[in-house]
Amino acid sequence: MLDEGKSIQEIREKTGLAVGVNNISLDIEDGEMFVIVGLSGSGKSSLIRCMNMLNIPTKGELVIDGENICNYNKSQLQELRRKKVAMVFQHFGLLSHRSVLKNVEYGLEVQDVPKEERAKKAKEAIKLVGLEGWENYFPRQLSGGMKQRVGLARALTNEPEILLMDEPFSALDPLIRRDMQTELLSIEDYMDKTIIFITHDMNEAFRLGDRVALLKDGELVQVGKPRDFFENPANDYVSSFIEDVDKSRILRVKTVMREPIVLAKLGDRTDKILEDLNNKDRDFCYVIGDKQELLGYVESDTIGKHPGHKIDSFVVEEVESINRNAFVFETFSKLDESDIDVAVTDKRNRLRGVIDHQDIVSALTH
């Protein structure tokens, strides 16, 4: 009926069926924090539940690492849910007769992971979500925010590549919610997980998301970086959705930064980098190591005096950087007046991009 151009109202009247997700096409990148936002009933849960086949789509495909999971049989799906894709639910889903530690171990227990190993992994996850010391408490002794952390730790112990989170923070009060958002960002920053996060709060969506998808009536209205929604709202619905948002407190450095114009790796030759710098009219560039870690910078003046060398001995190691999850307003003092590219790094000190004063101004004034 959809193919025949019938509306979802018409379909509901004639058949009694709801169209949950209507013809949505999305690519989600490895390591991305992808947020799905929309009003109640817009199809968010229906969509995320397709991503581990709790909902079976009637049409289309769902490809994870090149495999269409719609074709998976029962045991392949079980494997997928145990190892690759974990889900965190809104109402915690904790087992009340088990301690925090035993709750977090649960997923490993059903996989027959040996006792010592699972305790070790569970404790790591508990530490990661900030609950160290609470291992032997029971759910009834915890606050809502703490229970949510246990749920998150449990999802993390399986070391899934993909975390699905369906409005995990909506039951929490605003302060705890803010804490959990910060916690989640730092976990993602550190572990490089792909996280798909649902919320109906636009502020939360923009605060967390590398990219955001806005749904309405089961359809995709717009998908993009938070700043795209301000710069190019797809229609009036989007404009009214974002009307009351304070951009400087919502936009994160990572959604505003850009690629460095020139970048050097340890081991590069001075001549090559100098040529690059001259061509691009730059007087310095950052230097990274094998693991993309930020080591410092080299200046054209210096390497210009030493042709035919590796750049390694000319790297200036004192370098200031900004974490990619910082809010734009937090960078004002660092970027004030200066027009140099400041390095943007993650928690492991890997260089993720650069940003200058002009980038911020253009992001905020658009």
Report the interface residues with ligand ATP, using CB under 6 A. 18, 20, 38, 40-46, 200
Shortest Å, Cβ 16 to ligand ATP: 9
Shortest Å, Cβ 90 to Mg ion: 8
- How far is 51 from 54, CA to CA, in rounded Å? 8
SS3 119: helix
Shortest Å, Cβ 175 to ligand ATP: 22
Which letter, b or e, does each residue of 309-318 get, where b requires 16 or more Cβ atoms within 10 Å of its Cβ?
A: eebeebbeee
Going by their DSSP bridges, the two strands 63-64 and 263-265 should be labelled as unpaired
Shortest Å, Cβ 93 to ligand ATP: 16
Smaller CB distance to Mg ion: residue 38 or 130?
Answer: 38
| Contact set for Mg ion, span 13-72 (CB under 5 A) | 45
Smaller CB distance to ligand ATP: residue 34 or 106?
Answer: 34
Smaller CB distance to ligand ATP: residue 43 or 139?
Answer: 43
Smaller CB distance to ligand ATP: residue 194 or 199?
Answer: 199
**CB atoms < 10 A from the CB of 218, how many?**
21
Shortest Å, Cβ 200 to Mg ion: 8
Question: Interface with Mg ion includes 325 (CB under 5 A)?
Answer: no
Contacts of residue 116, defined as CB under 8 A and 6 or more positions apart, other chains included, come to none
The label of the residue with tokens 């070391």 reads: 159
The per-residue DSSP string of 178-229 comes to HHHHHHHHHHHHHH--EEEEEES-HHHHHHH-SEEEEEETTEEEEEE-HHHH
User: Would you say 324 and 352 are in contact if contact means Cβ atoms under 8 Å apart?
Assistant: yes
- How far is 292 from 205, CA to CA, in rounded Å? 28
Smaller CB distance to ligand ATP: residue 31 or 41?
Answer: 41
Q: Which does 18 bind (CB under 5 to 8 A by kind): ligand ATP, Mg ion, none?
A: ligand ATP
Q: Which does 352 bind (CB under 5 to 8 A by kind): Mg ion, ligand ATP, none?
A: none
Shortest Å, Cβ 54 to ligand ATP: 10
Smaller CB distance to ligand ATP: residue 9 or 362?
Answer: 9
Cα angle, residue 335 at apex, residues 334 and 340 outer, rounded to 5°:
120
Strands (E), 3-101: 33-37, 63-64, 67-68, 85-88
Residue whose Cβ sits closest to Mg ion: 45
**CB atoms < 10 A from the CB of 220, how many?**
20
Smaller CB distance to Mg ion: residue 19 or 295?
Answer: 19
- How far is 154 from 86, CA to CA, in rounded Å? 9
**CB atoms < 10 A from the CB of 257, how many?**
22
Q: Which does 41 bind (CB under 5 to 8 A by kind): ligand ATP, Mg ion, none?
A: ligand ATP
Shortest Å, Cβ 52 to ligand ATP: 15
Residue at 359: amino acid letter: D
Q: Which does 38 bind (CB under 5 to 8 A by kind): Mg ion, ligand ATP, none?
A: ligand ATP
Shortest Å, Cβ 269 to Mg ion: 55
Q: Which does 46 bind (CB under 5 to 8 A by kind): ligand ATP, Mg ion, none?
A: ligand ATP
Smaller CB distance to ligand ATP: residue 16 or 308?
Answer: 16
Distance of CA 278 to the CA centre of its chain: 36
Q: Which does 40 bind (CB under 5 to 8 A by kind): Mg ion, ligand ATP, none?
A: ligand ATP
User: How many of the chain's residues bind Mg ion (CB under 5 A)?
Assistant: 1
* Residue ranges binding Mg ion (CB under 5 A): 45
